[in-house]
Structure 1
Amino acid sequence: MTEGSFLTSARAGYDTIAVPYAQLFAAELEAKPLDRSTLTAFAEMVGGAGPVVEVGSGPGRVAAYLAKQGLDVSGVDLSPEMVALARRTYPGLRFEEGSMTALDRADGALAGLVAWYSIIHIPPALLPEVFAEFRRVLAPGGRLLLAFQVGDESLHRTEGFGHTFSLTFHRLLPERITELLERAGFVVDAQLVRAPDEREKVPQAHLLAHKPA
Protein backbone atom coordinates (compact mmCIF):
# COMPACT_ATOMS: atom_id res chain seq x y z
CA MET A 1 0.00 0.00 0.00
CA THR A 2 1.47 3.38 -0.96
CA GLU A 3 1.31 6.24 1.50
CA GLY A 4 -1.90 8.23 1.30
CA SER A 5 -2.72 11.71 2.51
CA PHE A 6 -4.25 10.26 5.68
CA LEU A 7 -0.81 9.00 6.74
CA THR A 8 0.89 12.29 5.88
CA SER A 9 -1.74 14.16 7.88
CA ALA A 10 -1.46 11.81 10.88
CA ARG A 11 2.34 12.11 10.90
CA ALA A 12 2.25 15.90 10.81
CA GLY A 13 -0.51 16.08 13.41
CA TYR A 14 1.24 13.90 15.96
CA ASP A 15 4.56 15.61 15.33
CA THR A 16 2.83 18.84 16.33
CA ILE A 17 1.22 17.57 19.55
CA ALA A 18 3.76 14.94 20.65
CA VAL A 19 4.87 16.54 23.92
CA PRO A 20 1.48 17.67 25.34
CA TYR A 21 -0.14 14.44 24.19
CA ALA A 22 2.46 12.37 26.01
CA GLN A 23 2.07 14.46 29.15
CA LEU A 24 -1.73 14.13 29.15
CA PHE A 25 -1.78 10.34 28.71
CA ALA A 26 1.40 9.39 30.60
CA ALA A 27 -0.43 7.80 33.54
CA GLU A 28 -3.61 6.81 31.68
CA LEU A 29 -3.27 3.05 32.20
CA GLU A 30 -2.99 3.47 35.97
CA ALA A 31 -6.64 4.54 36.08
CA LYS A 32 -7.95 1.88 33.67
CA PRO A 33 -7.92 -1.63 35.19
CA LEU A 34 -9.87 -3.18 32.31
CA ASP A 35 -7.38 -1.84 29.79
CA ARG A 36 -4.50 -3.20 31.85
CA SER A 37 -6.22 -6.57 32.14
CA THR A 38 -6.58 -6.83 28.36
CA LEU A 39 -2.93 -5.96 27.81
CA THR A 40 -1.89 -8.42 30.52
CA ALA A 41 -4.01 -11.19 28.99
CA PHE A 42 -2.41 -10.52 25.61
CA ALA A 43 1.06 -10.70 27.19
CA GLU A 44 0.24 -14.03 28.84
CA MET A 45 -1.10 -15.44 25.56
CA VAL A 46 2.07 -14.46 23.69
CA GLY A 47 4.39 -15.55 26.50
CA GLY A 48 7.91 -16.15 25.29
CA ALA A 49 6.89 -17.13 21.76
CA GLY A 50 8.87 -14.32 20.12
CA PRO A 51 8.98 -10.61 19.32
CA VAL A 52 6.00 -8.29 19.53
CA VAL A 53 5.45 -4.97 17.77
CA GLU A 54 3.11 -2.18 18.81
CA VAL A 55 2.06 -0.24 15.72
CA GLY A 56 1.18 3.39 16.35
CA SER A 57 3.19 3.25 19.57
CA GLY A 58 3.17 7.03 20.13
CA PRO A 59 5.03 8.06 23.28
CA GLY A 60 5.64 4.42 24.19
CA ARG A 61 3.56 3.90 27.33
CA VAL A 62 1.75 0.77 26.08
CA ALA A 63 4.94 -0.85 24.78
CA ALA A 64 6.56 -0.09 28.14
CA TYR A 65 3.68 -1.74 29.99
CA LEU A 66 3.97 -4.85 27.82
CA ALA A 67 7.73 -4.96 28.39
CA LYS A 68 7.05 -5.01 32.13
CA GLN A 69 4.88 -8.09 31.52
CA GLY A 70 7.93 -9.84 30.08
CA LEU A 71 7.41 -9.37 26.34
CA ASP A 72 10.17 -8.68 23.82
CA VAL A 73 8.36 -5.64 22.46
CA SER A 74 9.28 -2.76 20.18
CA GLY A 75 7.30 0.17 18.82
CA VAL A 76 6.62 1.57 15.36
CA ASP A 77 5.10 4.99 14.76
CA LEU A 78 4.56 7.36 11.85
CA SER A 79 5.64 10.43 13.80
CA PRO A 80 9.38 11.13 14.13
CA GLU A 81 8.64 13.36 17.13
CA MET A 82 6.73 10.59 18.87
CA VAL A 83 9.51 8.11 18.15
CA ALA A 84 12.15 10.49 19.52
CA LEU A 85 10.06 11.12 22.63
CA ALA A 86 9.50 7.39 23.24
CA ARG A 87 13.23 6.72 22.89
CA ARG A 88 14.04 9.39 25.46
CA THR A 89 11.38 8.21 27.89
CA TYR A 90 12.09 4.48 27.56
CA PRO A 91 15.75 4.15 26.51
CA GLY A 92 15.74 0.42 27.14
CA LEU A 93 13.12 -0.22 24.41
CA ARG A 94 13.32 -0.03 20.63
CA PHE A 95 11.21 2.47 18.71
CA GLU A 96 11.37 3.22 15.01
CA GLU A 97 9.56 5.19 12.34
CA GLY A 98 7.22 3.24 10.12
CA SER A 99 3.65 2.60 9.06
CA MET A 100 1.25 -0.23 9.84
CA THR A 101 0.35 -0.22 6.15
CA ALA A 102 3.82 -1.54 5.18
CA LEU A 103 5.71 -3.00 8.12
CA ASP A 104 9.44 -3.57 7.85
CA ARG A 105 9.20 -7.15 9.08
CA ALA A 106 9.60 -10.47 7.32
CA ASP A 107 6.65 -12.77 6.75
CA GLY A 108 5.79 -14.62 9.95
CA ALA A 109 8.39 -12.74 12.00
CA LEU A 110 6.22 -11.74 14.97
CA ALA A 111 4.61 -13.60 17.83
CA GLY A 112 2.32 -10.68 18.57
CA LEU A 113 1.10 -7.34 17.25
CA VAL A 114 -0.75 -4.58 19.09
CA ALA A 115 -2.65 -1.68 17.53
CA TRP A 116 -3.78 0.29 20.58
CA TYR A 117 -6.03 3.10 19.31
CA SER A 118 -4.04 3.41 16.08
CA ILE A 119 -6.28 1.81 13.43
CA ILE A 120 -8.63 4.73 14.17
CA HIS A 121 -6.64 6.84 11.71
CA ILE A 122 -6.99 4.35 8.85
CA PRO A 123 -9.92 4.98 6.47
CA PRO A 124 -12.31 2.07 7.08
CA ALA A 125 -12.23 1.06 3.41
CA LEU A 126 -8.50 0.36 3.76
CA LEU A 127 -8.70 -1.78 6.90
CA PRO A 128 -8.78 -5.07 4.95
CA GLU A 129 -5.36 -4.22 3.50
CA VAL A 130 -4.01 -3.32 6.93
CA PHE A 131 -5.33 -6.53 8.48
CA ALA A 132 -3.75 -8.50 5.64
CA GLU A 133 -0.44 -6.84 6.51
CA PHE A 134 -0.89 -7.76 10.17
CA ARG A 135 -1.51 -11.38 9.16
CA ARG A 136 1.55 -11.38 6.92
CA VAL A 137 3.98 -10.41 9.67
CA LEU A 138 2.50 -12.70 12.33
CA ALA A 139 3.75 -16.24 12.71
CA PRO A 140 1.20 -19.08 12.77
CA GLY A 141 -0.42 -18.90 16.19
CA GLY A 142 0.61 -15.24 16.53
CA ARG A 143 -1.60 -12.98 18.63
CA LEU A 144 -3.28 -9.70 17.68
CA LEU A 145 -4.75 -7.05 19.99
CA LEU A 146 -6.79 -4.10 18.74
CA ALA A 147 -8.30 -1.21 20.71
CA PHE A 148 -10.59 1.47 19.31
CA GLN A 149 -13.56 3.72 20.04
CA VAL A 150 -17.01 2.27 19.27
CA GLY A 151 -19.21 3.93 16.66
CA ASP A 152 -19.75 4.31 12.95
CA GLU A 153 -18.78 7.92 12.35
CA SER A 154 -15.62 9.86 11.49
CA LEU A 155 -14.50 13.00 13.29
CA HIS A 156 -12.05 15.64 12.10
CA ARG A 157 -10.13 17.81 14.56
CA THR A 158 -8.14 20.88 13.66
CA GLU A 159 -7.05 22.11 17.07
CA GLY A 160 -6.18 20.89 20.53
CA PHE A 161 -3.35 20.77 23.05
CA GLY A 162 -2.74 24.46 22.24
CA HIS A 163 -1.93 23.69 18.60
CA THR A 164 -3.58 23.56 15.19
CA PHE A 165 -3.39 20.36 13.14
CA SER A 166 -5.47 18.10 10.92
CA LEU A 167 -6.40 14.67 12.30
CA THR A 168 -9.27 12.38 11.35
CA PHE A 169 -10.52 9.73 13.80
CA HIS A 170 -12.74 6.83 12.76
CA ARG A 171 -14.98 5.18 15.34
CA LEU A 172 -15.58 1.53 14.52
CA LEU A 173 -18.17 -1.15 15.21
CA PRO A 174 -16.77 -4.28 16.95
CA GLU A 175 -18.93 -6.61 14.87
CA ARG A 176 -17.62 -5.03 11.65
CA ILE A 177 -14.00 -5.31 12.80
CA THR A 178 -14.61 -8.95 13.77
CA GLU A 179 -15.98 -9.61 10.29
CA LEU A 180 -12.97 -7.96 8.61
CA LEU A 181 -10.51 -9.88 10.79
CA GLU A 182 -12.18 -13.18 9.98
CA ARG A 183 -12.09 -12.36 6.27
CA ALA A 184 -8.37 -11.62 6.65
CA GLY A 185 -7.83 -15.08 8.08
CA PHE A 186 -7.84 -14.39 11.82
CA VAL A 187 -9.77 -16.17 14.56
CA VAL A 188 -11.27 -13.74 17.06
CA ASP A 189 -10.79 -15.05 20.60
CA ALA A 190 -12.40 -12.36 22.74
CA GLN A 191 -14.15 -9.04 22.57
CA LEU A 192 -14.52 -6.52 25.38
CA VAL A 193 -16.68 -3.41 25.11
CA ARG A 194 -16.47 -1.21 28.17
CA ALA A 195 -18.36 1.92 29.13
CA PRO A 196 -16.64 5.27 28.61
CA ASP A 197 -14.85 6.84 31.54
CA GLU A 198 -15.08 10.52 32.48
CA ARG A 199 -12.72 11.56 29.64
CA GLU A 200 -14.37 9.45 26.95
CA LYS A 201 -17.57 10.08 25.01
CA VAL A 202 -18.28 6.61 23.61
CA PRO A 203 -17.71 2.96 24.61
CA GLN A 204 -14.28 1.47 24.01
CA ALA A 205 -13.59 -1.90 22.35
CA HIS A 206 -10.74 -4.39 22.73
CA LEU A 207 -10.44 -7.38 20.37
CA LEU A 208 -8.07 -10.31 20.83
CA ALA A 209 -7.44 -12.56 17.83
CA HIS A 210 -4.87 -14.98 16.49
CA LYS A 211 -3.53 -16.26 13.17
CA PRO A 212 -4.33 -19.97 12.94
CA ALA A 213 -1.42 -22.37 13.13
Structure 2
Amino acid sequence: MTDETARRNAVRRAWDAVADDYAAARRADGPDADLLRDLAPDLPAGASVLDVGCGDGRRTMATLHDADPTLDVVGLDFSRVQLGLASEAVPDARLVQADMTALPFREQTFDAVSAYHSVFHVPRERHPAVYREFARVLRPDGLVLMTVGSGRSESTRRNWLGSGHAMFWSTPGSAATTAQLSDAGFDVEWERRVDDPLGSTALFVLARRR
Protein backbone atom coordinates (compact mmCIF):
# COMPACT_ATOMS: atom_id res chain seq x y z
CA MET A 1 0.00 0.00 0.00
CA THR A 2 1.39 3.40 -0.97
CA ASP A 3 1.57 6.33 1.44
CA GLU A 4 -1.08 8.15 -0.60
CA THR A 5 -3.46 5.17 -0.46
CA ALA A 6 -2.94 4.87 3.29
CA ARG A 7 -3.64 8.58 3.72
CA ARG A 8 -6.81 8.43 1.62
CA ASN A 9 -8.04 5.41 3.56
CA ALA A 10 -7.41 7.30 6.80
CA VAL A 11 -9.44 10.26 5.54
CA ARG A 12 -12.28 7.93 4.52
CA ARG A 13 -12.29 6.25 7.94
CA ALA A 14 -12.37 9.65 9.63
CA TRP A 15 -15.36 10.76 7.57
CA ASP A 16 -17.15 7.49 8.35
CA ALA A 17 -16.49 8.09 12.05
CA VAL A 18 -17.62 11.72 12.23
CA ALA A 19 -20.47 11.61 9.69
CA ASP A 20 -23.31 11.96 12.20
CA ASP A 21 -21.61 14.57 14.39
CA TYR A 22 -20.49 16.60 11.39
CA ALA A 23 -24.01 16.60 9.92
CA ALA A 24 -25.44 17.73 13.27
CA ALA A 25 -22.88 20.54 13.63
CA ARG A 26 -23.21 22.01 10.13
CA ARG A 27 -26.35 23.94 9.19
CA ALA A 28 -28.02 23.06 5.91
CA ASP A 29 -28.50 26.73 5.02
CA GLY A 30 -26.20 29.76 5.04
CA PRO A 31 -24.18 31.87 2.60
CA ASP A 32 -22.37 28.89 1.08
CA ALA A 33 -25.68 27.20 0.26
CA ASP A 34 -26.86 30.49 -1.26
CA LEU A 35 -24.09 30.19 -3.85
CA LEU A 36 -25.75 27.00 -5.11
CA ARG A 37 -29.13 28.73 -5.25
CA ASP A 38 -27.53 31.47 -7.34
CA LEU A 39 -25.91 28.86 -9.60
CA ALA A 40 -29.09 26.94 -10.43
CA PRO A 41 -30.69 29.62 -12.69
CA ASP A 42 -27.50 29.70 -14.80
CA LEU A 43 -27.91 26.03 -15.69
CA PRO A 44 -30.13 24.68 -18.50
CA ALA A 45 -33.41 23.07 -17.55
CA GLY A 46 -32.85 19.45 -16.62
CA ALA A 47 -29.09 19.98 -16.28
CA SER A 48 -26.92 17.23 -14.82
CA VAL A 49 -24.89 18.22 -11.75
CA LEU A 50 -22.21 16.16 -10.04
CA ASP A 51 -21.78 16.94 -6.34
CA VAL A 52 -18.25 15.79 -5.44
CA GLY A 53 -17.82 15.05 -1.74
CA CYS A 54 -21.57 15.29 -1.25
CA GLY A 55 -21.43 14.26 2.41
CA ASP A 56 -24.86 14.03 4.02
CA GLY A 57 -26.40 15.87 1.04
CA ARG A 58 -28.45 18.39 3.01
CA ARG A 59 -26.40 21.48 2.19
CA THR A 60 -25.58 20.70 -1.45
CA MET A 61 -27.83 18.17 -3.18
CA ALA A 62 -30.96 19.15 -1.27
CA THR A 63 -30.28 22.86 -1.93
CA LEU A 64 -29.90 22.23 -5.66
CA HIS A 65 -33.11 20.17 -5.76
CA ASP A 66 -34.99 22.91 -3.93
CA ALA A 67 -33.59 25.62 -6.22
CA ASP A 68 -34.54 23.74 -9.39
CA PRO A 69 -36.43 20.42 -9.14
CA THR A 70 -35.64 19.67 -12.80
CA LEU A 71 -31.91 19.28 -12.07
CA ASP A 72 -30.47 15.77 -12.21
CA VAL A 73 -28.08 15.77 -9.26
CA VAL A 74 -25.61 12.92 -8.70
CA GLY A 75 -23.85 12.72 -5.33
CA LEU A 76 -20.35 11.25 -5.08
CA ASP A 77 -18.46 10.49 -1.89
CA PHE A 78 -15.98 7.85 -0.81
CA SER A 79 -17.50 7.54 2.67
CA ARG A 80 -20.20 4.90 2.74
CA VAL A 81 -21.61 6.33 5.97
CA GLN A 82 -21.94 9.78 4.44
CA LEU A 83 -23.74 8.31 1.45
CA GLY A 84 -26.14 6.55 3.81
CA LEU A 85 -27.03 9.92 5.34
CA ALA A 86 -27.40 11.45 1.88
CA SER A 87 -29.84 8.73 0.84
CA GLU A 88 -32.04 9.75 3.77
CA ALA A 89 -31.76 13.49 3.10
CA VAL A 90 -32.33 13.27 -0.68
CA PRO A 91 -34.13 9.93 -1.27
CA ASP A 92 -34.43 10.33 -5.05
CA ALA A 93 -30.80 11.31 -5.70
CA ARG A 94 -28.36 9.04 -7.47
CA LEU A 95 -25.39 8.28 -5.22
CA VAL A 96 -21.98 6.86 -6.13
CA GLN A 97 -19.14 5.74 -3.89
CA ALA A 98 -15.87 6.69 -5.59
CA ASP A 99 -12.72 8.80 -5.37
CA MET A 100 -12.64 12.22 -7.04
CA THR A 101 -9.21 11.55 -8.54
CA ALA A 102 -10.78 8.93 -10.83
CA LEU A 103 -14.42 9.79 -11.53
CA PRO A 104 -16.44 6.78 -12.81
CA PHE A 105 -18.26 8.72 -15.54
CA ARG A 106 -17.89 9.18 -19.28
CA GLU A 107 -16.58 12.35 -20.87
CA GLN A 108 -18.96 15.32 -21.07
CA THR A 109 -21.62 13.80 -18.80
CA PHE A 110 -22.40 16.84 -16.63
CA ASP A 111 -23.32 20.51 -16.98
CA ALA A 112 -21.88 21.48 -13.58
CA VAL A 113 -19.74 20.17 -10.73
CA SER A 114 -20.01 21.30 -7.12
CA ALA A 115 -17.24 20.40 -4.66
CA TYR A 116 -17.88 21.82 -1.20
CA HIS A 117 -15.11 21.40 1.39
CA SER A 118 -13.77 18.32 -0.39
CA VAL A 119 -10.83 18.89 -2.77
CA PHE A 120 -8.52 20.09 0.00
CA HIS A 121 -8.74 16.66 1.65
CA VAL A 122 -6.73 15.36 -1.33
CA PRO A 123 -2.92 15.89 -1.29
CA ARG A 124 -2.21 19.14 -3.13
CA GLU A 125 0.08 17.43 -5.64
CA ARG A 126 -3.01 15.50 -6.79
CA HIS A 127 -5.23 18.57 -7.22
CA PRO A 128 -4.33 18.99 -10.93
CA ALA A 129 -5.54 15.42 -11.53
CA VAL A 130 -8.82 16.24 -9.78
CA TYR A 131 -9.35 19.33 -11.95
CA ARG A 132 -8.56 17.35 -15.11
CA GLU A 133 -11.23 14.86 -14.04
CA PHE A 134 -13.71 17.70 -13.50
CA ALA A 135 -12.93 19.03 -16.99
CA ARG A 136 -13.22 15.55 -18.52
CA VAL A 137 -16.73 14.87 -17.20
CA LEU A 138 -18.02 18.40 -17.86
CA ARG A 139 -19.55 19.50 -21.14
CA PRO A 140 -18.01 22.55 -22.86
CA ASP A 141 -19.04 25.73 -21.03
CA GLY A 142 -19.80 23.65 -17.92
CA LEU A 143 -19.31 25.17 -14.47
CA VAL A 144 -17.47 24.09 -11.35
CA LEU A 145 -18.26 25.68 -7.98
CA MET A 146 -15.92 24.64 -5.21
CA THR A 147 -14.27 25.54 -1.94
CA VAL A 148 -10.51 26.21 -2.15
CA GLY A 149 -7.79 26.99 0.36
CA SER A 150 -6.67 30.61 0.42
CA GLY A 151 -3.11 29.90 1.59
CA ARG A 152 -0.51 27.22 0.99
CA SER A 153 -0.69 24.69 3.81
CA GLU A 154 -0.78 21.00 4.68
CA SER A 155 -1.77 19.65 8.05
CA THR A 156 -3.26 16.72 9.91
CA ARG A 157 -5.58 17.25 12.87
CA ARG A 158 -5.54 14.42 15.39
CA ASN A 159 -8.72 13.12 17.00
CA TRP A 160 -10.82 15.24 14.64
CA LEU A 161 -14.22 16.14 16.17
CA GLY A 162 -13.45 13.67 18.94
CA SER A 163 -13.63 10.73 16.53
CA GLY A 164 -10.30 9.19 17.46
CA HIS A 165 -9.29 9.57 13.80
CA ALA A 166 -7.02 12.08 12.08
CA MET A 167 -8.21 14.41 9.29
CA PHE A 168 -5.91 15.67 6.55
CA TRP A 169 -5.99 19.04 4.74
CA SER A 170 -3.77 20.12 1.85
CA THR A 171 -3.87 23.20 -0.39
CA PRO A 172 -1.38 25.02 -2.66
CA GLY A 173 -3.08 28.40 -2.16
CA SER A 174 -5.59 30.30 -4.28
CA ALA A 175 -3.09 31.58 -6.89
CA ALA A 176 -1.74 28.09 -7.55
CA THR A 177 -5.29 26.72 -7.67
CA THR A 178 -6.25 29.30 -10.32
CA ALA A 179 -3.21 28.28 -12.39
CA GLN A 180 -4.05 24.59 -12.02
CA LEU A 181 -7.64 25.19 -13.09
CA SER A 182 -6.41 27.10 -16.14
CA ASP A 183 -4.06 24.24 -17.07
CA ALA A 184 -7.02 21.83 -16.78
CA GLY A 185 -9.08 23.94 -19.21
CA PHE A 186 -11.03 26.30 -16.93
CA ASP A 187 -11.40 30.06 -16.71
CA VAL A 188 -12.07 31.39 -13.20
CA GLU A 189 -15.10 33.72 -13.24
CA TRP A 190 -14.99 34.81 -9.58
CA GLU A 191 -13.66 34.17 -6.10
CA ARG A 192 -15.80 34.91 -3.04
CA ARG A 193 -15.35 34.58 0.70
CA VAL A 194 -18.47 33.58 2.60
CA ASP A 195 -19.22 32.63 6.19
CA ASP A 196 -18.99 28.93 6.79
CA PRO A 197 -21.75 27.28 8.89
CA LEU A 198 -19.08 25.88 11.22
CA GLY A 199 -18.08 29.40 12.20
CA SER A 200 -15.17 30.20 9.88
CA THR A 201 -14.79 31.92 6.50
CA ALA A 202 -14.44 29.86 3.32
CA LEU A 203 -13.11 30.82 -0.11
CA PHE A 204 -15.18 29.69 -3.09
CA VAL A 205 -14.34 29.73 -6.79
CA LEU A 206 -16.61 29.54 -9.83
CA ALA A 207 -14.83 28.39 -12.99
CA ARG A 208 -16.07 27.65 -16.51
CA ARG A 209 -14.78 24.89 -18.79
CA ARG A 210 -13.49 26.18 -22.09
TM-score (norm 1): 0.88
- Are 1:51 and 1:111, in contact at CA under 8 Å, matched by a contact in 2? yes
TM superposition outliers: structure 1 runs of 4+ over 3 Å: 194-198
- The Cα shift of 1:112 comes to 0.6
Q: Distance in 1 between matches of 2:160 and 2:167?
A: 10
Kindly state the Cα deviation for residue 150 of structure 1 after the two structures are TM-superposed.
2.3
Query: Matched residue of 1:107: which SS?
Result: coil
On the 8 A contact 2:103/2:133 being kept in 1, the answer is: yes
Q: How far apart in 2 are the matches of 1:195 and 1:174?
A: 17
**Structure-2 separation of matches of 1:105 and 1:66:** 20
Match status 1:8 vs 2:9 = yes
Please say if residues 14 and 166 of structure 2, whose CA atoms lie closer than 8 Å, have aligned partners that are also in contact: yes
Q: Distance in 2 between matches of 1:92 and 1:28?
A: 18
How far apart, in 2, do the equivalents of 1:161 and 1:11 lie? 14
Q: TM-score under structure 2 normalisation?
A: 0.89
Whether the aligned pair in 1 keeps the contact of 2:153 and 2:173 (CA below 8 Å) is no
CA distance in 2, matches of 1:197, 1:80: 23
- The aligned runs of 1:174-189 (5 Å cut-off) are 174-189=174-189
**Structure 2 CA distance for partners of 1:198 and 1:106, relative to 1, 3 Å:** closer
1:38 corresponds to which of 9, 15, 35: 35
| Structure 1 position 153 matched with structure 2 position 153 | yes
* 1:47 and 2:48 correspond: no
Aligned to 1:60: 57
Counterpart CA distance in 2 for 1:91 and 1:20 is 21
Query: Does 2:202 match 1:204?
Result: yes
Q: Which residue of 2 aligns with 1:18?
A: 19
Q: Deviation at 1:143?
A: 0.8
Cα deviation for residue 21 of structure 1 reads 1.0
Aligned to 1:163: 163
Pair 1:85 & 2:85 matched: yes
Once the two structures are TM-superposed, the CA of residue 159 in structure 1 deviates from its matched residue by 1.0
Which region of structure 1 is more displaced relative to structure 2, 181-190 or 37-46? Answer: 37-46
- Secondary structure at the aligned position of 2:130 is classed as helix
RMSD: 2.0
Identity between Structure 1 and Structure 2 (%) = 28
Counterparts of 2:79 and 2:18 in 1: how far apart (Å)?
10
- Structure 1: state its 5+ residue gaps: none
Distance 1:134 1:196, change over 3 A: closer
Matched-pair contact (CA < 8 Å) for 1:64–1:93: no
Instruction: Report SS of the residue matched to 1:161.
Output: helix
